[in-house]
Chains A and B, each alone.
Chain A
């Protein structure tokens, strides 16, 4: 039950005005003892140096946008070799065929959104190669970190190559009450990987997805283009064993 409130009708939205009411900005001190009222202060380390180095993280993540940072970069040159790190990161990833990227870039020039471009990239490679993300960033004029931020936001984007067989187990509400967690567990045990991982031989990737929209057939498993209903742990084990056998032949 909701706590009984005797105060004035609850105000929706930002409560910033209450925060500001309690501060005397001239004196830089708090007046009154209102809950949730605070002043920002910057902490200094033992040597008296400010620990803040204007990363602007607080400014960017503040949910009520009450922080405004005016800063000047002190290190005009970064203390590490960005180009070398980038090259090393690229090196660590498998080679990709750059041709499908042309279509993605053409789409971007045609007015497609960033997420649409990422979708097209994933459709071409089945995951998002770093090189593709860098090209998209260059094309859109965004920073790589921004593109990466969007790519990591959505669980359906894979940033690592996926296995030959992608098995997606629906864990939506209807599937959950019908036993999807057991199916997922059976897959995980049989493939010997955790959910979201890929086997070392690049044969299987196991993923949990939220609702594929075939709730009448719960629990549902999506394997390749096929959607299979009324799935059971026994069927899951059989499928994995069969695919393993097929691979050995």
Chain B
């Protein structure tokens, strides 16, 4: 056991720990926190890719010009969550929100909102429902509709500055836990709160800790699972990048509860900013005696390490993850292995997801009752989701468990692009299955989703509009699963490959009516026989597609047509004689010279040469290029498709 009772009374001990926390905080070093004027620039991946770095330069120069350098801080925060509107800039403490900022907007913003106290109205976010500009970030419907607990500090806290975190009651939960010196009490609190694993499995966190604590072992480990391999999910990564101290505090609370002396935060090397910021955060915390031996003078010590591994989907499986840390191939150990008995280096180990860890400080600070005040019938609290795909407001959202999927996708996400209709939603990434638009009233929690055949899994909600073919989408999921299958067990290794082959056949028009039965049998066998959740996850997109989109699959098999005009073998590109102006744009762009025609004359596409690469449709300014599939047609004068095109 790492904790030991001091001879002093518990009151003295608590006072000592709180005093130590007080001492660790050096508020003078705080940059831009609280009421001080500062400009928060989103440093999330999406905003960075849309030009946040150039913005930072422009802003620095402009502030210098006004003699404000050093007076108004520029804080490179973590992900603000509203990725669709990036790059995002927020002026605090006023909370003025500027979306899609360009370097040329900077002078006007600095002039009006930093030097003066007005707002540049034409640069503000406009409520799509009313068209009215909204200045206050909290009033934007996307933020107002959320319950931000785990994400509360994400986008406001400076991830490279521990004092900024400490100024927001950071590490106060850890101090409380250490002062009470009652690990069993912590576990009871977490159990009372009804917190379940946010990584997808949904195992009750308190129960896992209790098992880990009670199992005999020389020492215990806590591992924070930050290997987010699911394409389309970026919540763990954003948390690690934008609020690393919250994750570290959560890890320490977990370590204290199970009695672990060593903890790992497992993430991927290709998440370079996350690894870097975590390491900085750990160094800062170590320097303030918040990590390492004798934390805050309590006698409890825990060493926390960042383990930057390579990315593989199967590493998210806890036993595979443990194998990776031990330096083996990342293969799962099997259903019968229980990490709480024999985990890392054969010692009892508690593996928890990043989001689970990050929700612990809030839970301890506000208590189990407040935590459980929102949530579904079987699970309490909130869930962070990354909303992507054909949805308008893609980004990070946090909602109470039990919120309906419609509210998430249509209410917060703003639905699909103008002119498209919502077709389906993948509620939990690649292995979560797919739900049709008329099932959207399902509540987003573990059991309600389970009833529909889908799962929460990683929390990556991918929205699909009518420009996407379900066969193609399933094919994509299967291709991913077959590639990521580690190969240890036969049902998954061979089964996913067979399902992939069948779906490839269906998408090329060679499907047979018997394929449906074959798929169903494969689904049953893989689900039963696979060694880990990856196999069962590979089954889910197939099962749900068969259950909800049978007619679309039948159209591929029986009629040899793709209703969404996506599957390449079943479509052809043609040019409308009425709409083509003969501008030659497609003529030059076609990589295989399949387009012919003179200038100012309608062009034609040679079907023998066409490779269906979609380039002509994209370059056409007159929407003259149409996609046809045995009786159905898209393109032409229809609005541009938000998401489309197949492999």
Contact = CB atoms under 8 A, between A and B. Distances in A.
A150 B49 contact: no
Contacts of B232: 172-174, 211, 215
B553 interface: no
A205 interface: no
A186 interface: yes
Nearest to B233: A211
B46 A154 contact: no
A173 B426 contact: yes
A197 interface: no
A216 B86 contact: yes
A233 B618 CA distance: 9
Interface string B216-247: 00000000000001111110011000000000
Contacts of A142: 327
B387 to A, nearest CB: 9
A177 interface: yes
A119 B269 contact: yes
A154 B310 contact: yes
Interface residues of B, number: 79
B327 A114 contact: yes
Contacts of A170: 231
A181 interface: yes
Contact of B310 (A157, A228, A232): A157
Contact of B388 (A10, A114, A174, A212): A174
B83 to A, nearest CB: 3
A216 B394 contact: yes
Contacts of A154: 309-312, 330
A136 B335 CA distance: 32
Interface string B283-317: 00000000000000000000000011111110000
A61 B488 contact: yes
A12 B203 CA distance: 15
Residue from the set A178, A181, A211, A227 with the largest chain B CB neighbour count within 10 Å: A211
B476 A173 contact: yes
Interface string B557-573: 00000000000000000
A233 B614 contact: yes
A178 B462 CA distance: 12
A215 B394 contact: yes
Interface stretch (B12-20, B153-161, B165-173, B638-646): B638-646
Contacts of B71: none
Interface of A: 1-3, 10, 12-14, 61, 63-65, 113-116, 118-119, 140, 142, 146, 149-150, 153-157, 170-179, 181-182, 185-186, 189, 209-218, 220, 226-229, 232-234, 237
Interface of B: 45-46, 48-50, 83-84, 86, 229-234, 237-238, 269-271, 307-313, 324-330, 334-336, 386, 388-390, 394-395, 426, 429-430, 460, 462, 464, 467-468, 473, 476-477, 480, 483, 486, 488-490, 520, 524, 528, 531, 543, 546-547, 589, 591, 613-615, 618-619, 642-647
Q: Nearest 4 pairs between A and B by C-beta?
A: A172-B231, A216-B83, A114-B327, A154-B310
